[in-house]
Amino acid sequence: MFRNAVVFKRWCLAQSSRQVLDGLKNQELIRTNGYINGKWVESSSGETFAVTDPAIYPKESAFIAEVSSMSVNDYETAIQAAHDSFKSFKKTTGRYRSELLLNLYRLMIENQDDLAKLIVLENGKPYADALGEVKYAASFFQWFSEEAPRIGGDVIDSQNYGNKIITLKQPVGVAGILTPWNFPSAMITRKLAAAVSTGCTTVIKPASETPLSALLLAYLAEKAGFPAGVVNVLPSHDSSGVGRVMCEHPLVKKVSFTGSTNVGKLLMSQSSSTLKKLSFELGGNAPFIVFEDADVDAAITGALISKFRSSGQTCVCANRIFVHESVYDEFTEKFVKLINEKTKLGYGLEEGITHGPVIHDRSFAKVRSHIDDAISKGAKLLAGGNPRPDLGENFHELTILGDVTSDMLISQEETFGPVAPIIKFSTEEEVIQFANDTDVGLAGYFFSRDVGRIFRVAEDLEVGMIGVNTGAISESALPFGGIKHSGFGREGSKYGADEYTVVKSVVLGGIR
C-alpha cells in the first residue's frame, strides 16, 4: 500500500491530524464560515479555500478544513455592520468593555489546550510553542481589560486665566485589522483587545494559511457577550482585494497591519484618499550583538530563543548575529553544541519536539537560497544546512553559518527561517555601524555587562525595541513596534490604546 517508510509516516501524521481535530474537547470551536454582525455566514460568492497542515506532504494528505472565502461584498457588509454597532458601542463605559475583555481572557484560558492544538495543525509550530502563544495572546485581553476603565483625557491650565482646557480621548471608529500567519492568535488579540478597550468596533482579515484560530476567537467573543457587529472575522484568499477595500472604504477610520514592508507601503498608498489612522508593524532585520564582556552562556541561550523561536519565523527574530572576535570561537562552539543537544525537529504534537516546519514552499525556497548564496561566497557551515524530506517537504534543519560577510543575502534580507548567520566584529563603533546599515528597524538585541555600554548601545541602535542580556522581549506590557521601514505605531502596553483613539480639545471659557 505504501511505497516506503516516509510515505507511511506522512499518512500516519495525516490521520493523526484528523484525529486531533475530531478529538478537541470543544467541537464548537471549529468554525469554517465568516462571522459578520453576530452571525455565522457563508461567502456570498460561494467560494471556499482549503486549510492545510504545513507539516504534512503532499497537500492532499494535509487537508484540515474547507473555509469560506469571504468576498469584497461581504467585507462591505461587515464594515457597515461595524459602523452601525459603533454608534452604540462607543458610548459604553470602560468598565463594561473591561468585563467583556476579561470574559474573553477567561474563555481563552479555559480552552487553551484546544486553541494550542489548532495552532499546531494550521501553523506547524510545536505544541509547547503554540500553548505559549495562546497564553501570550490571552494576556492582551487581560491587560486591556485593566486599561479600558482608565482611558481618559486631561485638564490643562490655559494661558487665559478665565479658561480651562479639557482633552477627551474618543474611539476613532471602525478598525480594520489585517494579520499574518506566524502568530495566528496573538497577532489578532494584540490589536483587537486595544481596539475594544477604547470603544472601537472591528473587521478582521486573518491570514489565509491560519483562519481557524481567528474564527475560534470570534466564537469565543460571541460567548463572552460581545454585541453584534463589534467583532467581525472574515477569512478570504483575496488578500489584495480585501486590503484595498479596508484601506479605501470611508467608514473604516483605522487600519492596523502586520506583514511585509512592501505590502505596508501599498496599503499606506491605498489609505491616502481617506486619510485613515494607521499603525503598521512591518519587516525586520534584527541585529544580535555579543560583546567581549558578555556572559557567553547567557548569550547562546538568548540566541537560541531569539533566532530559532517558531523555526525563525517571527518578526523579532535575530537575523544577523554579531560576535566579538575575542569570544567568537567560544560562542560558535557552544552555540553549535546547544543546538545539537537541546533541539529536536519534527511534527508539533509529538513528544519532545522543539521545532517544526516552515510555513510553505516559498519560505523553504528562501531559506535554501540564503544558505546556498552564503556558502558560495565563503561562509562556513557549522551546523545543520540540510532539508529534511524524511519529515516533510517544509522541514529544514536548524542551521548555523560562520564567517558570514555583509555581501551575502542573509546579511541584507530577512530570512524568516531557521538559519543563524554569525558575523565577526572588532569594535563597538564598527558593530553599531553594521547593525544600523539597513532600512528597517524593528528589534535588536545585545549582551554586555558594561553599564556604560548598555546605555550607549541602547541609544545608538536604530530599532524600536531592544533586548539587553535577554533574547525574549515580547509581552503585553511592552510597547511593540518599529522605526524606519519597519513601520510606526505601538501595540500592547499603555500606549497601545492610543492607536485607536483621537484626542478632542474642549476650551471652557468664562470660568472667572
Residue-level pLDDT at 512: 85
Average pLDDT rounded to a whole number, residues 125-137? 97
In this prediction, residue 57 carries a pLDDT of: 74
Per-residue pLDDT, averaged over 247-260, amounts to 98
pLDDT of residue 395: 96
Catalytic machinery residues? 281
Domain ranges for the chain, please list them: 5-29+51-281, 286-481
pLDDT of residue 10: 53
Find the mean pLDDT for residues 344-364: 95
Mean pLDDT over each residue of the chain, to the nearest integer: 95
- Which fold would CATH assign to domain 5-29+51-281? Aldehyde Dehydrogenase; Chain A, domain 1 (3.40.605)
Q: What is the pLDDT of residues 169-216, one digit of tens each?
A: 999 999 999 999 999 999 999 999 999 999 999 999 999 999 999 999
pLDDT at 41 over 80: yes
State the CB neighbour count (10 A cutoff) for residue 231: 30
CA–CA gap between residue 452 and residue 449 (Å, rounded): 9
Element (H, E) at 105: helix 94-110
Label residue 56 by pLDDT band (50, 70, 90). Answer: confident
Q: What confidence category does residue 1 fall into, taking pLDDT thresholds of 50, 70 and 90?
A: very low
Q: What is the CATH number of domain 286-481?
A: 3.40.309.10
Q: Do the beta carbons of residue 118 and residue 235 sit within 8 Å?
A: no
Structure confidence at residue 2 (pLDDT): 43
pLDDT digits (tens, 9 = 90+) for 276-296: 999 999 999 999 999 999 999
The residues that bridge with 167 in the sheet, in sequence order, are 505
Query: Cα–Cα distance between 70 and 459 in angstroms, integer?
Result: 45
Q: Which amino acid is at 445?
A: Y
Distance CA 150, CA 135 (A): 24
Grid cell listed for 81:
455592520
Rg (CA), the chain: 24
pLDDT of residue 20: 85
Tens of pLDDT, residue by residue over 330-345, are: 999 999 999 999 999 9
Interacting residues of 351 by C-beta distance below 8 A, sequence separation 6+ = none
What's the rounded Cα separation, in Å, for the pair 462 and 441? 6
Tell me which of 18-22, 178-182, 425-429 is least confident: 18-22
**pLDDT in the model for residue 168:** 97
pLDDT tens readout for residues 387-404: 999 999 999 999 999 999
Place of cell 501599498: 266
pLDDT at residue number 15: 57
- How far apart CA 33 and CA 214 sit, in angstroms, is 11
C-alpha neighbours within 13 Å on the C-beta side of residue 256: 33
Taking a C-beta distance cutoff of 8 angstroms, is the pair 479, 490 a contact?
yes
